[in-house]
Structure 1
Amino acid sequence: MIIDIIGDIHGYADKLVGLLTQLGYHHNGQHFVPPAGHRALFIGDLIDRGPQQLATLEIVFAMLDADVADAVMGNHEYNALAFATLDPNDNTQYLRSHSDAHVRQHEAFLAEVPFGSELHQYWLQRFYEIPLWFESENACFVHACWDVDSMAILKPLLTEDNCLTPHGLIATAHEPSAPFDALERVLKGVETPLPHGMAMVDKEGTKRTRVRVRWWLDALNTRTLYEVARAPVSALAQIPSDALAENIDFALKTHKPVFVGHYWLTGTPEPLSNQVACTDYSAAVDSGYLTCYQLDTEQPLPLQPSNFVQYRHDLTSDSDQ
C-alpha cells in the first residue's frame, strides 16, 4: 500500500486537483479515485487563506466519505470551531476571540461559508469528524507534533477515534490548563521561553516571548536556542547566538516514521530527520507548492527525499490545465 500524505491545502483546490491528477487519481463523477494500491491522507489545514475554500472541502470530504482517504485535524480547523463556539463561562465571548487578527485569519473561509449560516454549521460538524491524530501499523500522522504525553492528556476529552467532542473543544480552549497546553503541542508544535526579558516579533507582527522549536532534532537541551528555534531569519537575529535551549520537555516516543504539516517549509523537499517528514511546503502562497510524501507501508523507513512529489503549478501550461 502507498499512502499519499498531502500537505496543508489552505483552500487552494486547483493545486489539490493538480496534485491528485499528477499522482494518478481520477474523478469518477463523485470523488477522486486513487490508483490501485494507493490511499490519500490529508495532514490538516484544509481551510483559510486560499480562494477555493468550499471546493477544497468538497473534494476532501467526498474522498473521506468514499473511504479512499483519511485526514487529521489542523490548527485552522480547530480554530474555526473555537471561533464559532460561545464560551459557556461567558456567553458574550467566543472560545477564540473575534479580534481583528483572528477575523482576518478566517476571512477567506467565512467569505464562502457565512458565519452562523446553515452551511457554516454543516462544515463545523464535519470538522468534528476529523481526528486529532492517526496511527497505523507503519506510521504516525499528526498536524504539528507527535507528543504521546500530550495525547494522553487529551484522550479522555476525545472519541475512541481521537476526534474532538464539544466538551473537549471547551476544555482545550481555556488557558492556562493542561488540556490547552496539550492541544497546542499536538496542533501547533513545541515552544520554549526566550531568555528573560527577551521578545521577538513574528511574521504577523505579534510580539512573542516564546519560540517554536525543531522538536525532531536530537538532544534538544544541549543545543543553542538559535539552532533549535523554528522562526523567520529576522526573528532569529534577535536571539543571542550563545543562548542555550533549556528545559524543553519533549522526547519523541515512537520508532515509527512521523508525518506532519504546519511548518511552512520552502525549497527542495527532504525529511526533517531520519524519522520525521513534513509535507507543508507553503501551498498557501502563490509561490508555494502543494506537496505529498508517498509512504510505502511495506518499507516505511528509511525516509527518502525521492518519495516527495510536488505539484509545480507555475510550470503547468495553459493547455494542461
Structure 2
Amino acid sequence: MAYQGYDLIGDIHGCALSLRMLLARMGYRQINGVYQHPQRKVVFIGDIIDRGPHIREALHIVRDMVEAGHAEIVMGNHEYNYLCYVTPDPEKPGEYLRQHTPRHKRILQQTLEQLSPYGDEQQEYMEWFLQLPLFIEFENFRVVHACWHNELIETFKQKMGGNRIDRGFLERSAKEGSFEWEVMDRLLRGTHLRLPNDEVMVSKDGFRRHFFRTKFWMPDPQYLVDVVFQPDPLPAHLARLPINNAQREDLLYYGDTEKLLFIGHYWREGTPSPITDNITCLDYSAVKFGKLVAYRLDDETVMQPDKFVWVDVAREVHLIDPEVGAS
C-alpha cells in the first residue's frame, strides 16, 4: 500500500488511553483489532513502556500496528534499558547488563510489575525490543529517539549492515566507552554535558543528576544556557559560564540544511511547536499530565506549526482514568 502521509507520535510511556484517543482524533479506526488509516501510517518515536498505568495495553496497540504494516517504530532508551535490565551479563555470572540498583528498578518498576503475570509475553517483548531499528531514514525525513549523529550512524550501518542491533551488540553496549555504548548513548539519550565543578542537580522526577541534556542544533553557542535542553533549568551561576573547548567537543550540530528530523525523549512543555525549521521533538510528558503529541507529515520540507495534533492528558484523560499520570 502506498501511504500518502505519516503521523509521527511521541513518547507514550504506558498511556494507552491517551494513545487510543490520539489515534481516533487522527482518523485511525480499529479493524480486526488493529488501528489503521486508509491513507496514512504512524511512526512511533520509542519509549512505549515505563511509568504509565497501561503499559501492556500500549505495547499491544503499537506492536499490532507495526506487525500489520500500519506503523513503524524506533527504539527508545526505555526499551533499551529494559533489554539491558533483563539480559544476563555473560562476563559476570549472576549479574545483568544493567545493574539492578534501586534507581534502575524504580524507572522500570511499572513495566516489570505490569508484565510479570505474563511470562510468555515478557519473553516475546524482549525479543521484539531487540530487533527494533535504532533509526529510520525516509526520502524526506529522519526519525531517531533522541539525537541524529551522522558519523555514528554511517559507521553503524557499515558494521551492522542496517539499522538494527543484535544480542552481541547489546552485550558490548554495556561497556562504557565502547563504540556500541556510544551509539546507544548518543542516539537514544542525546548529547549532554557534565555539570561543572562536580555539582549535582535534583531533577523534577527526583533523580540526582551530574549531567544535563543539550541542544544539538546550535551553530555557535557561547554559554551553557545556550545549549541546555531539559525542563529543569541550570542554576544561574552555572548557566552564565562560557562553554570551554572540551565541552564544545562534546556538542553536536545538526545543520539547517539536513532532512526534517523527528525526535522524542526531552520532556517538553507548553504548546507543541517545531524546535527549528527542520527539527521537531514530540515528547510533551504525557505520563506527567502533559500531552501525547503527533505531527501529521505530508510533503512539506519545512516544519509547520499547524501540523501538530495532541491529547491533553490533564484535561481530557485524567478525568476519565485517574490512574493516568499517577506514577
TM-score by length of 1: 0.90
Deviations 1:221-259 (A, max 9, x none): x32112211244454435141332533342326621000
Alignment partner, residue 101 of structure 2: 99
Which residue identity lines up with residue 115 of structure 2 in the other structure? V
Alignment partner, residue 308 of structure 2: 308
Shift of 1:14: 0.2
Query: 5 Å matches for 1:142-291?
Result: 142-155=144-157, 158=160, 160-219=161-220, 222-233=221-232, 235-237=234-236, 239-244=238-243, 246-252=248-254, 255-285=258-288, 287-291=289-293
- Cα pair 2:291 2:311 within 8 Å, conserved: yes
In 1, the alpha carbon distance for the partners of 2:313 and 2:189 equals 28
In 2, the alpha carbon distance for the partners of 1:76 and 1:319 equals 27
- Cα pair 1:83 1:94 within 8 Å, conserved: yes
Unaligned runs of 5+ in 2: 322-327
- Cα pair 1:41 1:69 within 8 Å, conserved: yes
In 1, the alpha carbon distance for the partners of 2:219 and 2:70 equals 35
Shift of 1:206: 4.2
Range 310-319 or range 201-210, more displaced = 310-319
Number of positions where the alignment pairs a residue of Structure 1 with one of Structure 2: 314
| Alignment RMSD (CA, Å) | 2.4
Shift of 1:274: 1.5
Per the alignment, in what secondary structure is the counterpart of residue 12 of structure 2?
coil
Which residue identity lines up with residue 228 of structure 2 in the other structure? A
Which residue identity lines up with residue 26 of structure 1 in the other structure? R
Range 161-170 or range 133-142, more displaced = 161-170
Per the alignment, in what secondary structure is the counterpart of residue 70 of structure 1?
strand
Percentage of pairs with the same residue:
34
Per the alignment, in what secondary structure is the counterpart of residue 286 of structure 2?
coil
In 1, the alpha carbon distance for the partners of 2:282 and 2:133 equals 18
In 1, the alpha carbon distance for the partners of 2:281 and 2:29 equals 25
Identify if the C-alpha distance between structure 1 residues 121 and 202 changes in structure 2 by more than 3 Å, giving closer, same or farther.
Answer: same
Shift of 1:197: 4.2
- Cα pair 2:46 2:145 within 8 Å, conserved: yes
Identify if the C-alpha distance between structure 1 residues 118 and 156 changes in structure 2 by more than 3 Å, giving closer, same or farther.
Answer: farther
Deviations 1:17-49 (A, max 9, x none): 000000000001320111x32110100000001
Identify if the C-alpha distance between structure 1 residues 200 and 3 changes in structure 2 by more than 3 Å, giving closer, same or farther.
Answer: same
Which residue identity lines up with residue 194 of structure 2 in the other structure? P
In 1, the alpha carbon distance for the partners of 2:74 and 2:317 equals 33
Alignment partner, residue 3 of structure 1: 6
Alignment partner, residue 292 of structure 1: 294
Shift of 1:192: 2.2
In 2, the alpha carbon distance for the partners of 1:80 and 1:200 equals 25
In 2, the alpha carbon distance for the partners of 1:194 and 1:22 equals 42
Range 234-243 or range 184-193, more displaced = 234-243
Alignment partner, residue 70 of structure 1: 72
TM-score by length of 2: 0.89
- Cα pair 2:10 2:45 within 8 Å, conserved: yes
Deviations 1:86-128 (A, max 9, x none): 1111022100011111111111111121299322111101112
In 2, the alpha carbon distance for the partners of 1:104 and 1:9 equals 18
- Cα pair 1:82 1:169 within 8 Å, conserved: yes
- Cα pair 1:87 1:94 within 8 Å, conserved: yes
- Cα pair 1:217 1:273 within 8 Å, conserved: no
- Cα pair 1:131 1:164 within 8 Å, conserved: yes
Alignment partner, residue 57 of structure 1: 59
Alignment partner, residue 87 of structure 2: 85
- Cα pair 1:11 1:50 within 8 Å, conserved: yes
Per the alignment, in what secondary structure is the counterpart of residue 11 of structure 2?
coil
Identify if the C-alpha distance between structure 1 residues 143 and 240 changes in structure 2 by more than 3 Å, giving closer, same or farther.
Answer: closer
Per the alignment, in what secondary structure is the counterpart of residue 113 of structure 2?
helix
In 2, the alpha carbon distance for the partners of 1:135 and 1:240 equals 35
In 2, the alpha carbon distance for the partners of 1:318 and 1:261 equals 22
